[in-house]
Amino acid sequence: RKWNEYTPWNASTHTNRLQAHSLSGRTATSPVQVLTTIPRNPTKEMPAHQRLSLRRESIRTACKEFQRPLTAREKTQLYTQMMVDDAHRVIWCTVRKSGTTSWKAVMLILKGKFSRLSAALDHSIHHGYKYLTRMSDKYSNPADIEYRLKHYTKFMSYREPLGRVVSDYRQIKLYNTNFRKMICERVAAYNSNVSESRGRKAGKTNADAWRHISFPQFVNYVTRFHDERNKNQNLNVHWRPTNLICHPCQIDYDFYVDFESPTVTEDSSVVLKALRAPKWLKLPKANTSGNETKYSFLSQLSASQYQRLLSLYDTDYEIFNYQRPNQNG
């Protein structure tokens, strides 16, 4: 079993895994020198930099089962999700619904676009990634990209997979955007086709489709490649598995921020210091809907829908050491 701050510490298991890691030939070098000591007592009371160090080692260990070369298409998709700041030598891999609004604001402040967090957050909400630089937009030479991946400080934020799916659905239902219209029309059309193939009456596909999209219908659409798992890379980036967005088993990030951890504020402070952010800058408290809300949606699913959804994120659960939730909490 992998470990993190939520699981008991076993010193002998940890030692054996570190020895195996050393024998594998991989090195633990990093541009962030604070990540050098593996903690022996992983609790929320421990110093944040030790907790982050343990999390990084845990992910490295889990990734031994999932290491493989990236395809050309996967590299293109990855570099599209990486924001690069050459002045601060920083790379941030974006995972939707995992603190992206706050981290966008941080990157904007680093670039000198804003001097107040409130203004940066407002811009982040209403203008997306404007003023930020995607790796894929700035660099096409593989040597330029590889240099930055090797020498820049790299970080990513992630979240419990099913909580992320519920958050995606709630955002689609709450906010009137072109993205909502596009996704809801596709969800309605997909479920209509499924219903017709089963001899049922087709659902709505008009401009008000979003009003009639249920969470089970949304899950049907999200898991539509269940029998063709090699196509999961085609899923919309909002709910694509995190391991297929940032590829933590191929990219050795310096920091992994658990968006739903009770220590996310303290952990983020260590990252901000490594990024040379202004001392006054603190990430706002994580805005998560909580387990009660999550389970109220998951309970709407049939057993087969729930299992398909869990199966979609199997690798995420393994890599990030989240415990797979029971459907009803």
The Cα–Cα gap between 166 and 172 comes to 10
Side-by-side strand order, sheet with 82-85: 82-85, 90-93, 153-158, 255-258
Residue 40 is predicted with a pLDDT of 35
Intervals of the chain under pLDDT 50 = 1-42, 196-205
The pLDDT, as a whole number, for residue 42 is 45
Model pLDDT, residue 6: 34
Residue 236 to residues 90, 182, 191, Cα–Cα distance (Å): 25, 12, 17
Q: Are 122 and 284 in contact (CB under 8 A)?
A: no
The amino acid present at 243, given as its one-letter code, is N
- Look at residue 207 in the predicted model and tell me its pLDDT: 54
CA dihedral 140, 141, 143, 148 (to 10 degrees): -30
pTM above 0.85, yes or no: no
Q: If DSSP states are collapsed to H, E and C, what string results for 104-173?
A: HHHHHHHCCCCCCHHHHHHHHHHHCCCCCCEHHHHCCCHHHHHHHHHHCEEEEEECCHHHHHHHHHHHHH
Is-contact 82 135, C-beta < 8 A? yes
Q: Are 270 and 255 spatial neighbours (Cβ–Cβ below 8 Å)?
A: yes
Distance CA 211, CA 193 (A): 18
User: Considering only CA atoms, which of 83, 65, 57, 213 is closest in space to residue 136?
Assistant: 83
Query: Which residues touch 78 (CB under 8 Å, ≥6 apart)?
Result: 70, 93, 245, 246, 247, 251
219 CA to centre of own chain? 18
Report the b/e string of 240-258 with b at 16+ CB within 10 A: bbbbbbbbbbbebbbbbbb
The Cβ of residue 51 has, within 10 Å, a number of other Cβ atoms equal to 23
* CB distance 92 to 103 below 8 Å: yes
Surface-to-core class of residue 166, CB atoms within 10 Å of its CB (0-12 exposed, 13-18 middle, 19+ buried): buried
Can you read off the two tokens belonging to residue 99?
Answer: 């603190």
Nearest to 242 by CA among 81, 107, 129, 68: 81
| Total residues belonging to the chain | 329
134/93 Cα distance (integer angstroms): 10
pLDDT in tens, 58-95: 999 999 999 999 999 999 999 999 999 999 999 999 99
Under 8 Å CB-to-CB from 86, ≥6 apart: which residues? 148
Q: How far is CA 68 from CA 2, 63, 93, 141, 143, in A?
A: 20, 10, 19, 22, 20
pLDDT value of position 192? 83
